[in-house]
Amino acid sequence: MMFRLPINELDGFFAKIAAGRRLYLPVDQNDGTSAFAEWSEGTKMSENLNTLRSAKSFFFPQVTNLCDFNVKDKEIEVIDNRADSEDFAVFGVRGCDARAFTILDKVFLVDPIDSYYATRREHGVIITLACTMPEEHCFCNVFGIDATSPEGDVTTWKTDSYLYLNANTEKGEAFIAGIKDILEECAADEVEAQRAKTKEIMAKLPFANVSTEYFEKNTLLDIFNSEKWEKLSEACIACGTCTFVCPTCQCYDIKDFDTGHGVKRYRTWDSCMYADFTKMAAANSRNSQMQRFRQRFMHKLVYFPDNNNGEFGCVGCGRCLTRCPISMNIVKVIKTFGEE
Amino acid sequence: MQEVIDTAKRLLSDGTVNRVAGWKAGEFPYDVTPAVFTTVEEIDNGFIYNDFCAPNLSKYLIKESHKEGKILVFLKPCDTYSFNQLLKEHRILRENVYIVGVPCTGKVDIGTVRAMGIKGITDMESDGENVTIHTLYGDKVVPKTETLGDKCRTCKSKKHVIYDELIGEDGEVNNDGARFELVEKLEKMTPDERFEFWRGELSKCIRCNACRNVCPACSCENCVFDNPGSGIQQRAATDSFEENMFHLIRSFHVAGRCTDCGECTRVCPQNIPLHLINRKYIKDINVFYGEYQAGEDVMSRAPLNAYTFTDCEPGIVYERGGNE
Amino acid sequence: MHNETLIPKIGVVTDIRQDTPDVKTFRVVGTDGKKLFEHIPGQCAMVSMPGVGEGMFSITSSPTNTEFMEFSIKKCGTLTSWLHSMDVGQQITVRGPYGNGFPVETTFKGKDLLFIAGGIGLAPLRSVINYVRDKRENYGSVQIIYGSRSKDDLVDYQEILDEWMSCPNTEVNLTIDREQEGWDGHVGFIPNYVKELEPDTSKTVVMCGPPIMIKFTLAGLKELGFVDTNVFTTMELRMKCAIGKCGRCNIGNKYVCKDGPVFSFDQLSELPNEY
């Protein structure tokens, strides 16, 4: 069922959400980019298409404290300091990032469930916002994502005069029920008109017709053993930018930090692009940058789909396209393989 | 630029070199990738040199110059300083490199263009004066000077300090000091204001290591931040201050060797103006030990490696306001 | 709140045995004196000393042992060096069990088994061998070909002499790489020794050892007529989570920690050669 509220009441809408839980939304930064930040009275939402970093940190933060230890002589005390997440809502998530959550779910919510991720997921309401001005680096449609009607607990559409809302999940319906007094039921005409207009633009995007067929038709070993990886990875400087801005990259490291009065065990984002990612005391299974580069794209385009009914581990947000220091990215990889 | 392409083909065809390090065209004008070309066909198939070829190719020569045969590399004026510095540090085998200096009038930075609020950029053309930007939502013409990245906005030199061959006329070193203007602004801040400024910037750091990995002065085979025995090999900030230490330690390690190529700031995915830390050190070195430009030549001793009686005393910090 | 496998249990080290100059076997129980958890032969556990590190180790005792668990660990890195320096009574942390384990109750049942191990590679096989010994009636003949650099590097040598060699329908063939005083057994590398012994190709093979040994032994087995589907091995790659989430121990689309560490060679032949 479609609801709406006048666009000039957006601040009141945010205030109402924030009264019951923390509310995060994209906010402009001083460098022209935007980032998710907590809403407070006077916070203005960014008009940017997408945030520089993805929304994954709401559920999979860069650093998570797993547990603590007290070590005294020969004895160890394990301190489980996990707490339930607070309720929170994220507004303005785009279709690509929303799909990324369901990809992360397929890692963190399969047995054994990752409790740190799960509690945040359970307590977070995702309110997505339909795209109206896609950019040249967008290719979410390649992965079957409809940015004009994004997934999430609640989908919203912003027009010149209204914010339209539609609940997709039970959690979303409960959310709408909680703010119903400021909403009115309505028809979806204006939403449909907006969607049609956006779809026209999307059909003309430079990557609208990129095909992933090669990765569906060829075997894991044929793709893995291709000579093309050498050239593709040649200029890679082995930084972790692509993995850190990527909404679906979820590899992590576990490390201990001795604070001097106890040991904190935490996990952090890690990157398969780093040389020590697979380094053991005696050997390293991925010794060259080519191997590490190949791993990242094989994971997204072959391994993940193989294990998840063909679903690719990419959502086409284009962040790696805009952020890679040497401008090598997943579209170039897909196209290079598709060329033959 | 046809002359660059012709030079690449000539030197490859006449056997002077067996590989060419240059830039490869991408999906858009702005996403060029450094690449090594081994045949004329490969060069025909995507080699470009234009106002978007910002990546500094010097660091790639550490690896490439140790391979079989001679490699041709195209270096912009500022890139030649990095090359010289690497030569000084014995990281590059000079005899395996043939340098062709290419002219540069500053590179267009896509981040700068995007920060102007220009969205959906599908194509860009530069005539040297203006940049025409085609977008999904209409065209725009912007003066090129407004589209330059941090590294080019205050260019230190249009002169190639090392080359085997030069395309076009060589330019001059720029000594107007404009590149230190922002540093001076930071110096004039109170310590608290300055601390706030850098906390604001550095707290954005995601520890991706792009700045370190792209930096020609960061050529250690095993970085201290990758050493599990160092106690600082963290993947991310374990406390809210660690990312500051990462950048401060790194900048101290490259102090006196940093040529101010600006690659750190260009590649930072979080748009942190990292080059300002390095420029502060360059400026201080100039003041304390006399004018010095790292990479200007191969033979001179770096001020931080050479003791002279005219070196400033540590008390200079106090005299300059360290007591405040 | 869901259970969290990443939060470990406390284990108490009740016995430390010096097996070889660089291998020690640690006996571990829970703080209540009982076994920490049940496992299948070939499964692993994450053993850690907080502040030092955490690593995946094969549980080398058999599940039929109801009192404790054992880990045979070679000293080679930061964590293993620390473990080698600790004394009895030390607490460590343990979480697990992880991985698939050997198919002892399915594929292996009723089969003639051939175990081939090199050096510390015996550690993960010891669990299976002792399991088979304790349930001897469920399996056919057992042949164990085990080799090491020297006599001193043979892990569990005493157990092999005292118990394995006296087990019914069991043949033990030991070899060391070079002649050594006090050794009158076979001398030579495992791949060659296997070929010399010409084991029956109907046997199911369980193999573990350094990559170079695996490579040549597998080639030798194939020459003899063994087929990939009947040869099993157990893998080791860098691991952090042990539950197929941290993303580093994959070989192709398989995670060694979760889908392995036990693989048959026909499974491995379909995966990239990146291990």
pLDDT tens digits, C255-270: 999 998 999 999 999 9
The answer to whether C202 contacts chain A (CB < 8 Å) is no
Whether the link from the prior residue into A112 is cis, omega within 30° of 0, is yes
Nearest CA in chain A to B227: A276
Q: Which amino acid is at A103?
A: I
Whether the link from the prior residue into A325 is cis, omega within 30° of 0, is no
Pick the residue with more confidence: B72 or B235? B72
Both tokens assigned to B84: 């010289």
- At B235 the pLDDT is 65
Furthest-apart CA atoms within chain A: distance in Å: 71
Give yes or no for residue B238 having a pLDDT over 60: no
**A149: number of Cβ within 10 Å:** 19
C-alpha angle with apex A157: A155 to A158, nearest 5 degrees? 145
Print burial letters for B265-291: b (CB count within 10 Å at least 16), e (below 16).
Answer: bbbbbbbbbbbbbbbbbbbbbeebbee
Q: List, as ranges, residues 131-190 from A with C-beta within 8 Å of B.
A: 133-136
- Give Cα B205 to chain centroid, integer Å: 19
Contacts of A135 in chain B (CB under 8 A): 119-121, 136
- Is residue B286 within a helix (H) or strand (E), and if so which, with residue range? helix B275-289
Helix (H, G, I), strand (E, B) or coil at A73: coil
Could you tell me which of A202, A211, A227 has the C-alpha nearest to residue A335? A211
Distance between CA atoms of residues B116 and A48, nearest Å: 12
Distance between CA atoms of residues C128 and C107, nearest Å: 13
Both tokens assigned to A156: 């919203």
The residue with tokens 């910090």 is: B317
The answer to whether C275 contacts chain A (CB < 8 Å) is yes
Picking from A251, A270, A303, the nearest residue to C252 by CB comes out as A303
Residue numbers of chain A with a pLDDT score lower than 50: none
Q: Which amino acid is at C126?
A: R
Contacts of A250 in chain B (CB under 8 A): none
Closest chain A C-alpha to B179 CA, distance in angstroms: 19
- At A292 the pLDDT is 96
Q: Which amino acid is at C176?
A: I
Q: Give me chain B's average pLDDT, please.
A: 91
- Strands (DSSP E) contained in B17-158 are 19-24, 33-37, 47-48, 71-75, 97-101, 121-126, 130-135, 138-143
**A27: number of Cβ within 10 Å:** 18
The answer to whether C50 contacts chain A (CB < 8 Å) is yes
Closest chain C C-alpha to A249 CA, distance in angstroms: 9
Distance between CA atoms of residues B26 and B43, nearest Å: 14
Question: What angle do helix axes B275-289 and B181-188 make, rounded to 10 degrees?
Answer: 90
CA B152 → CA B156, B166, B260, B263, C25, distances in Å?
Answer: 8, 21, 11, 10, 62
Q: With bands split at pLDDT 50, 70 and 90, how would you rate the model's confidence at C133?
A: very high
Distance between CA atoms of residues A187 and A4, nearest Å: 9
- Strands (DSSP E) contained in chain C are 9-20, 23-30, 44-49, 53-58, 69-74, 91-98, 113-118, 142-148, 170-176, 186-187, 204-208, 231-234, 250-251, 254-255, 262-264
Any chains having at least 3 CB pairs less than 8 A from chain B are A
Give yes or no for residue B322 having a pLDDT over 70: no
Give yes or no for residue B319 having a pLDDT over 70: yes
Could you tell me which of A91, A233, A197, A93 has the C-alpha nearest to residue A150? A93
- At B317 the pLDDT is 72
Its pTM stands at: 0.94
The answer to whether A31 contacts chain B (CB < 8 Å) is yes
Sheet containing B121-126: which strands, arranged edge to edge?
B121-126, B130-135, B138-143
Give yes or no for residue B234 having a pLDDT over 90: no
Picking from A220, A256, A291, the nearest residue to C252 by CB comes out as A220
Both tokens assigned to A128: 């997505």
Question: Is the Cβ–Cβ distance between A81 and A116 less than 8 Å?
Answer: no
Residue B86 exposed, middle or buried by CB count within 10 Å (0-12, 13-18, 19+): buried
Decide if B209 and A240 are in contact by the 8 Å CB cutoff.
Answer: yes
Contacts of A114 in chain C (CB under 8 A): 4, 6, 245
Picking from A256, A295, A299, the nearest residue to C50 by CB comes out as A256
Helix (H, G, I), strand (E, B) or coil at A213: helix
| A200, A327, A331, best to mutate vs chain B, most B CBs in 10 Å | A327
What are the start-end ranges of the H helices in chain A? 10-20, 95-108, 115-123, 170-178, 189-203, 213-217, 220-224, 228-233, 241-245, 289-298, 304-307, 319-323, 330-338
Distance between CA atoms of residues A53 and C273, nearest Å: 34
**B19: number of Cβ within 10 Å:** 21
Decide if A271 and B28 are in contact by the 8 Å CB cutoff.
Answer: no
Give yes or no for residue B239 having a pLDDT over 80: no
Q: With bands split at pLDDT 50, 70 and 90, how would you rate the model's confidence at B77?
A: very high
Decide if C1 and A291 are in contact by the 8 Å CB cutoff.
Answer: no
Strands B19-24 and B71-75: parallel
Distance between CA atoms of residues A301 and C192, nearest Å: 42
Give yes or no for residue B241 having a pLDDT over 70: no
- At B99 the pLDDT is 98
pLDDT in tens, C48-87: 999 999 999 999 999 999 999 999 999 988 899 999 999 9
Contacts of A282 in chain C (CB under 8 A): 76-77
Nearest CA in chain B to A242: B208
